[in-house]
Structures are given as structure tokens and as C-alpha cells.
Amino acid sequence: MKKFVILIFVMLMSQTYCPAQKFGVGTDVISLATGTFNVETSVIVSKKVTLHLPLSWNPFTLKNNYKIKHIAIQPGIRWWFWHGYSEFYVGAHLLSSMFNMAVSSERRDGWAGGISLTCGYAWMLNQRMNIEIEVGGGPIYTEYDKFERETCGDYLGTTKGVILSPTRFSCSLFFLF
């Protein structure tokens, strides 16, 4: 009987939060529309806190050397107002990216890093699927070389500095496990 009481006591003292959905995998459909491959994994760590790791990559060069080539990672944390993976949330992300973009008359080749504050909303479609929207922004430090847009264009200079920039604008489809 003594061992049984000790076993019950240990079980009660070691209770942890055990949600039905522990992990999530998603993709941003807006990024997919621009030809950017992306995936976001997430894990719930408490009733209202989730950790996220979005990755994105765009390797394509379009006609006339237009491109939004990049590789980026944005590890982050979210705090949910109701419970993980449902309704409103606020969060913060770190950002690191290498890019080679040409969307105007010049091409920019460099890197960026910074922080982002975000907010969003998740709609539960069913027990295993969500749609999420998210927006965010913050200070970003960037360094890049500028060139004329055409292939092997002339060097136009280097830019370094901190900018206040949007960092997240997504509409994601999430699968929960």
C-alpha cells in the first residue's frame, strides 16, 4: 500500500501539459505564389506558448534578370490568447536572410538580420488543420551591394544600416499532429 501511495504521489507531482495537437507543419500560400519554397514547423511547449521555425528559399531568376532569390530563417515564439494553435496570438521572431533581389532598375546582393514583433489569427478548420494569417515588422540590419539590374551590371555601391521594415505577411495552411 505504501508503494501505491508513493506511486500516486509521484504521478500527481509530475503532471505535464499534454495537448491533443503537439506539433504543426505548415506552408505560406502567399510565398508559394511568388515561387518561394517554404515550410514552417512548430511545437507547443505550454497551453498558450508555441515555438516556430519557418524556412524559405527562392532560387529562381526570371526574364530580364528579375529575381527575388533568397534563403531565410525566422525562429520565433508565439503567445496565444486562448490556447495553442487557436484564435489570436502575438509573437516575436528573429530573422536571418541572404538575398540577391532585382525587382527594379537595380539588383541588391547581401544579407539581413533582425527582430520582428508579429500578431495573427488562426482558424481551426478541423481537428488537424488550420488557416493562419500573420503580419509583423521590426528593425532589420542589412548590408548589400547594389548593381545595375542586367546580368553583370555595373557596381553602384554598398549600403549598410538599420531599417524599420515589414518582416512577415503570410497566409498559411497548417497541419497539426
Question: Where in the chain are the domains?
Answer: 21-176
Asked if residue 76 lies in contact with residue 52, where contact means CB atoms within 8 angstroms, the answer is yes
Architecture of the 21-176 domain: Beta Barrel (2.40)
Q: pLDDT tens, 9-63?
A: 555 454 455 556 799 999 999 999 999 999 999 999 999 999 999 999 999 999 9
Closest CA relative to residue 26, chosen from 49, 47, 50, 46: 50
Contacts of 87 (CB under 8 A, 6+ apart): 80, 81, 121, 122
The yes-or-no verdict on residue 88 having pLDDT over 90 is: yes
The pLDDT of residue 70: 97
- β-bridge mates for residue 56, sequence order: 38, 72
Q: pLDDT tens, 3-22?
A: 655 655 555 454 455 556 79
Q: pLDDT tens, 107-158?
A: 999 999 999 999 999 999 999 999 999 999 999 999 999 999 988 899 999 9
